[in-house]
Amino acid sequence: MTIHNLFPLVALALNLTLIALVLYRDFQSRINRTFAYFLAGLAVWNFGVFMLRSTTAPSTALFWERAVFVGLIPVIPLYYHFVLLFLNRTQVWRRMLLIAYTFAALFMAVNPTALFIKGV
């Protein structure tokens, strides 16, 4: 295992630690839960990158490349949602937030097909 493979595992461990700390502090808080979801997306992304870098078979690499996007696609609207909650602006930007989640759902629906990723 090279240092190149270890970086995603270190990031995964940090993401999981942050999730535990954030949820331990106040599980009921909407902002904390949204931030934890954001971190969970990053954790899935990091795990997928680790597995992608660890494989040599093209079919397995394609699976893990698609798995990377399962974590990565929701990160964008989740971060946007977190920022809106932090700034207490969710009501003002509710429509844009809905659009962001809609686009994420569309990309998630297309992710398993060859329209998104054809091969590696």
- The reply to whether 115 falls in a domain is no
Residue with tokens 């992304």: 45
Report how many domains make up the chain.
1
- The reply to whether 119 falls in a domain is no
- The reply to whether 98 falls in a domain is yes
- The reply to whether 36 falls in a domain is yes
Q: What is the pLDDT of residues 5-53, one digit of tens each?
A: 899 999 999 999 999 999 999 989 999 999 999 999 999 999 999 999 9
CA distance 119 to 66: 10
Q: How confident is the model at residue 2 (pLDDT cuts 50, 70, 90)?
A: confident
Residue 17 belongs to what domain range?
3-110
Q: What would you measure as the largest C-alpha separation in the chain, in angstroms? A: 48
